[in-house]
Structure 1
Amino acid sequence: MEEEVAVMYPKDPPWYKPWMVPTTMCLLFFLVALLALFKRCASCRRGDNSPTIHPASDPT
């Protein structure tokens, strides 16, 4: 029975720490947010200004 449990739930590797999971999730979220922000700002630099982002730069 113990062998089956060992196969179903393998022992964590020695480098694994419990805090790695939330830290990795936060890092991924930060990178995705950074990419989204960069993409949004790149469209602003092209001149496709959205009034929701830059209401003061509306030429009309």
Structure 2
Amino acid sequence: LEKEGIDFGISIHVDAGKNGQSSKLIPEIVGWIKACGFGCETKPNSYAASSIADKYTK
């Protein structure tokens, strides 16, 4: 599909934000995901990841 110029705009949602221990890893996580060709959303815009994480941890 990429060869034909079709872009689905797939974005990975990461349950990591500016607060907490995961904040130190955000640049590496975002860089890795973008290097794989995907968009990346972190908190507060990563509603999909946050919803699932909350469901399984609470």
Relative to the length of structure 1, the TM-score reads 0.26
- Higher strand fraction: Structure 1 or Structure 2? 2
- Higher helix fraction: Structure 1 or Structure 2? 1
Greater RCO, 1 or 2 (C-alpha within 8 Å, sep 6+): 2
For the pair shown, which has the larger CA radius of gyration, 1 or 2? 1
